[in-house]
Chains A and B, each alone.
Chain A
Amino acid sequence: MECTGIREFLSAYMDNALDQDTCRLVEEHIAECKHCEIELLVLRRASEQLGALETVRAPGDFLEKLHRRVEKTSFFDRIRRALFVPAKIKVPLELAGVLATAVLVISIVLNNKAPEVMKDAGDVSSFSRTARLHQKQAPASEPVAEETKATRFHTAPPKPAIPGQGLALDSSEAEIRERAHYAEPVLEAARRPEMPAVAEHEEEPIELVLVLKKDRRDRGISAGSAGEAPKPALRCKERVGAAEKDEGVQDIRVLKKSEAKGKKDLLLPPAESIYAELKQVVESSGGRIISVQQDTEKNRTEYLAASIPPGNFSNLVNELRRLGTLQKNPSEMDQGRETVRVRIVISHE
């Protein structure tokens, strides 16, 4: 064996910690190798130096200081043991306790903030009251289409308006502006979300079926009559019949009625006269016409929708009775209403 290998065993050889075979090998090599023999010698001398070190004794007050140290650490050790021993049981419980305390504190803090939120809610209720007031003050909107649940007597269901087929009815420019004036606040109310527009069918219109007197039916346009030939005031999208010459047609929705089958053609006066008289009746009752349905083929007014103050409803009924017979006696009006919508169905038979 070479010196490198032998020197690895010298330390154990010094301590008699080698097996017999290895020990013999080392001894044989040392006997022959001066370098390894010196190496062994140096190792032994170094070890002896360590062994020659004097024992450094502990200070005289070692035990006393130890007592103080034990007492001091015992206090903290007791606390540590109380809190964390056994760790598998106490630590999870303590963590759960800390979490529960944190949740409780957070909930208390949030509850203290809740009344501030509730105070703001009071303003919302006053705001809604304001909205209702605005709602009442807004004038009745012009219905887009006639939708009513009221019983119909001799009328066909209303058809959607066909724009532009306006008949030159009441062409008063002032009246048109007045109606536009009525319409504007309604449109504004419709746009404002907090003040919803009054629904058209919120108040069901009162349907009055007026059977015209024969003389009324056959009456033509008479000079000096209350009714006036309607003059076009606004430009119309579509031109209808004789109204082509006119510059504009009043923007009142006109519902075209389909042909009634099997009806006898009567010599009926122009619709303008009947309409004019009805218009006068409505306006004398403090109301206004909302829409008119006309049969353009027969040139007569089928029905007319208007809104009037409830207090003038009886006056309206009386005036209508001058023109004809009401098939059904209208019921008493609810004086609490701001306006009453009526639908006057004209029966020409």
Chain B
Amino acid sequence: MKALDRTETSLEDDAMLVRAFQAGNKASFDELVLRHKDRIFNLCYRFLGDYEEANDCAQEAFVKAFRSAAAFRFESAFATWLYRIAVNTCKNRLRSLSYRLRKRMLRLGEPESENDLGACDPPDGAPGPATKLECKESETLIQKAIEMLPADQRAVILLRHLDGLSYEDIVAITGYNVGTVKSKLSRARNHLKDSLKEVI
């Protein structure tokens, strides 16, 4: 479990950069993007299960953050706020018709094994980190198991296990209360357990 860098220094750095951006320093936002883009991208990828969709979703999350950063009130950490935008963007994308149609076409048009290989190929043709990861059979199974979860359970379990966020962070990001987070996490883990019997 990889823990999010939640040291005070990191949080203070984020706040300072946001203030600088609010003061008019556009380059400060670039710095913020560089600090958080991989985590956000990874979350989007695991959430949606598609590289292109993840790229588009992550970009959209940062665009939203860019537009709203001027009004950021520092009531929470910038990372928490950014995660919230990303999770909501992914949920909206799951509900979008175009995404559902695309997933359906992928399932119908290609056999399972080829579909896995297809998901391993990045758009530029060159093998990248996504290619190595997606080609692992176990990871494919795990990814499929994640995609079978409902959006709310998916968000909770990914935030918990991808970034090692605490219940409090998950509460701040999702807006659920603690009891709901525990309940959803329990159900998501049980579903995964049932789906990953072969792997386990």
Contact = CB atoms under 8 A, between A and B. Distances in A.
B144 to A, nearest CB: 12
A11 B191 CA distance: 12
Contacts of B182: 11-12, 17
Contacts, number: 107
A157 interface: no
A133 to B, nearest CB: 78
Number of chain A interface residues as a range: 20 to 34
A25 to B, nearest CB: 16
Contact of A58 (B41, B158, B160, B196): B41
Contact of B186 (A12, A55, A57): A12
Interface stretch (A69-77, A173-181, A299-307, A318-326): A69-77
B55 interface: yes
Interface string B119-163: 000101000111011000011001100100000000001101110
B189 A57 contact: no
A47 interface: yes
Interface string B25-69: 000001001100111111001100001001100110011001100
A46 B189 contact: yes
Nearest to B51: A56
B63 A17 contact: no
Interface string A127-146: 00000000000000000000
Contact of B189 (A47, A53, A56, A70): A47
A53 B139 contact: yes
Contact of A57 (B42, B63, B66): B42
Interface centre among B34, B62, B138, B158 (most CB of A within 10 A): B62
Interface residues of B, number: 50
Interface of B (DSSP majority class): helix
Contacts of B54: 56
Contact of B59 (A15, A50, A62): A62
A69 B59 contact: yes
B113 to A, nearest CB: 20
B63 to A, nearest CB: 6
Interface string A59-100: 100110110011001000100000000000000000000000
A11 B188 CA distance: 10
Contact of A56 (B2, B124, B130, B158): B130
Q: Which 9 A-B pairs give the minimum distances between C-beta atoms?
A: A11-B186, A58-B41, A50-B161, A51-B1, A58-B37, A56-B45, A54-B133, A46-B193, A46-B192
29 contacts: A11-B186, A11-B190, A12-B182, A17-B167, A43-B190, A46-B189, A47-B161, A49-B138, A51-B2, A51-B162, A53-B133, A53-B139, A53-B142, A54-B133, A55-B42, A56-B41, A56-B42, A56-B51, A56-B133, A58-B37, A58-B40, A58-B55, A58-B58, A62-B58, A62-B59, A63-B30, A63-B34, A66-B63, A77-B67
Given A49-B196, A50-B192, A56-B41, 6 more contacts: A11-B190, A17-B167, A17-B182, A46-B196, A50-B157, A51-B2
Interface of B: 1-2, 30, 33-34, 37-42, 45-46, 51, 54-55, 58-59, 62-63, 66-67, 122, 124, 128-130, 132-133, 138-139, 142-143, 146, 157-158, 160-162, 167, 182, 185-186, 189-190, 192-193, 196, 199-200
